[in-house]
Structure 1
């Protein structure tokens, strides 16, 4: 029998837990031409949610465009990703091999190459700049101007999603942000700006000194409701031909603190572990398997931070507290005041730690926290 749980980006036809309200809101904003900032920790289901929303509104005749900005390395990289996303989105709205080919005239700066796989019939799209040696910022402005002119001439709605948008700051070109804002504010389209480095993303839109200040509706993905998580796990087991007790499902949900990625990942392993009926013991075994599997990613995180940052991370993992600059905490974990302040800023900007509503610092990822405590 096929496992009903998935740990990658969920396709529109795959099981999706809750988010009915968020789906309605995002679809409504897209129909109304509103811009939205969608933020949440990494692996919280943002991309899956937007994929589902865009699939829904595409069926209504809205053209959808999706660009991934994760780990941008240069302005040239951004131009290429954005240009390809635009052409791909237009092709999906109306084939560039058919009537849609008329749109290419609106993008004179781009050379588009289409190739058809004779075996599968699938179409590959290649996009490059007509002027190969054009300065990157000039190329970006040309593409943005062409998008704006295109949107003015066409009468259908367009929804453009820019995933991990905050990574524009990593290319170290301050003029990019102002240029994007200048053009996006004139575009007849709805933009969804997604991001998981929340402090960096929110500063782009809430800092009065930055171009995108108060230019979009803010929307945070909250943890999934516990009861709906339990129901989701029980129902998915049942639909796949197995049983999962309420107690076992609740144990899964509470162990991962309603974290969307881990809900799927732990339930996936519990489904594989059990025979016909998932028990609390099956869940416990599955959790150990999950920890073993995830350790490679956790090791990569700690290898990429300084000794002082690791000390602070270990301290917060052991004791969530608001007093991380208190002398007792510093002494217990071998830290200095200056070291804590620098480490806190870096770890928070990377969305590894956060302050909760009570002001206590904690790890964002509950399974990473467990691994840290056990490892150190």
Structure 2
């Protein structure tokens, strides 16, 4: 029997757990031309959510553009990624090989290049910049001006999603934010800004001293409702021809604290382990397999951390939630007040740890926390 549970970014036609309210709100904002910031931890389904919304909008005749800004390395990199996203979005909306070619007059600095995809036989799109200014910021401004001219068309409704938008700060060019804001506020489009480094992303839009201050509606993705996770898992097992009792589905859900990616990943492994019906023992086995599978990405996180940051993570893994500056915590894990403050800021910026409403801190990723307990 084919496993019906997916563990990668979900396509619009694949099963999607809940987020009904978020889907409705985001679609409505896009239709109304509002800008939205979506923030949540890594692997929380932000990209799947936006792709689903854009798929719905495309069926309504809206042109949708999606750009990935993860790990931007330069202003030139930003220009190229945004230009390619615009061209691909336009081509999917109306073929640039046909009537859609009229739009290209608004983008004189961008030349689409079409090649035949050997696996699908369909045209694949890449781009060349026809006349790149020597200064990268000038190139970015030219592209934004051209995009503005295109978006000004009265019959043109556009939704533009910029994924991992906070990574623009890694370019280390402070004028980029101001330039993007200057043009985007005039663009006749709905922008959706996504990001998983929440502290950095939220600061871009909530800090009075930054260009994007109060320029978009903030939308935080919260953990999925437990009962709906349970029902979703049971439905997926039934679709695959297997039975998942309610108590087992609830054990799966609680084991990963309703964390969207891990919910799917653990359910996938449990489905593979059982024959006709799954048991709590299958969940335990599946969870160990999940921890083993994730160790490579977790080890990569540790390799980039200082000794002080590792000590702080060890303390949070063992204590669960803690007051980081308490004398007991500092003494237990051999930390100093200054060392904790430095490590806390670095780990928080990477969205590895987060502060709770009561002032305590915890590790964001519950599976990473459990893996750390084993590793230490």
Q: TM-score, normalization: structure 1? A: 0.98
Aligned partner of residue 244 in structure 1, secondary structure: coil
Which residue does 2:314 correspond to in 1? 314
Deviation at 1:116, TM superposition (A): 2.8
Q: 1:342 to 1:118 in 2, by over 3 A?
A: closer
Please state if 1:194 is matched with 2:184: no
Please state if 1:359 is matched with 2:359: yes
- Distance in structure 1 (CA, Å) of the matches to 2:316 and 2:154: 53
Mapped contact 2:160–2:192 kept (Cα < 8 A): yes
Which residue does 2:66 correspond to in 1? 66
Mapped contact 1:158–1:190 kept (Cα < 8 A): yes
Which residue does 1:148 correspond to in 2? 148
- Distance in structure 1 (CA, Å) of the matches to 2:295 and 2:314: 15
Please state if 1:3 is matched with 2:25: no
Which residue does 2:165 correspond to in 1? 165
The C-alpha deviation readout for 1:321-344, integer Å capped at 9, x for no partner, is 442111211110011111100000
Which residue does 1:347 correspond to in 2? 347
Structure 2: 5+ residue runs without aligned partners? none
Which residue does 1:182 correspond to in 2? 182
Which residue does 1:42 correspond to in 2? 42
Which residue does 1:235 correspond to in 2? 235
Which residue does 2:212 correspond to in 1? 212
Deviation at 1:119, TM superposition (A): 7.0
- Distance in structure 2 (CA, Å) of the matches to 1:117 and 1:205: 40
Mapped contact 1:61–1:156 kept (Cα < 8 A): no
Aligned residues: 376
The C-alpha deviation readout for 1:186-222, integer Å capped at 9, x for no partner, is 0000000000000000000000000000000000000
The C-alpha deviation readout for 1:341-360, integer Å capped at 9, x for no partner, is 00000000100000122222
- Distance in structure 1 (CA, Å) of the matches to 2:23 and 2:338: 44
Which residue does 2:88 correspond to in 1? 88
Which residue does 1:296 correspond to in 2? 296
Q: 1:119 to 1:354 in 2, by over 3 A?
A: closer
Please state if 1:124 is matched with 2:130: no
Which residue does 1:271 correspond to in 2? 271
Aligned partner of residue 191 in structure 2, secondary structure: strand
Mapped contact 1:107–1:143 kept (Cα < 8 A): yes
Q: 1:185 to 1:116 in 2, by over 3 A?
A: same
- Distance in structure 2 (CA, Å) of the matches to 1:133 and 1:65: 24
- Distance in structure 2 (CA, Å) of the matches to 1:240 and 1:118: 33
Which residue does 1:28 correspond to in 2? 28
Aligned partner of residue 114 in structure 2, secondary structure: strand
Aligned partner of residue 340 in structure 2, secondary structure: helix
Structure 1: 5+ residue runs without aligned partners? none
Deviation at 1:161, TM superposition (A): 0.1
Which residue does 2:327 correspond to in 1? 327
Mapped contact 2:148–2:188 kept (Cα < 8 A): yes
- Distance in structure 2 (CA, Å) of the matches to 1:119 and 1:260: 32
Deviation at 1:137, TM superposition (A): 0.6
Mapped contact 2:133–2:139 kept (Cα < 8 A): no
- Distance in structure 2 (CA, Å) of the matches to 1:115 and 1:154: 32
- Distance in structure 2 (CA, Å) of the matches to 1:355 and 1:39: 15
- Distance in structure 2 (CA, Å) of the matches to 1:43 and 1:149: 36
Please state if 1:286 is matched with 2:286: yes
Which residue does 2:78 correspond to in 1? 78
Mapped contact 1:320–1:360 kept (Cα < 8 A): no
Mapped contact 2:109–2:131 kept (Cα < 8 A): yes
Q: 1:286 to 1:321 in 2, by over 3 A?
A: closer
Runs of 4+ in 1 over 3 A off after TM superposition: 117-120
- Distance in structure 1 (CA, Å) of the matches to 2:176 and 2:141: 9
- Distance in structure 1 (CA, Å) of the matches to 2:134 and 2:248: 60
Aligned partner of residue 37 in structure 2, secondary structure: strand
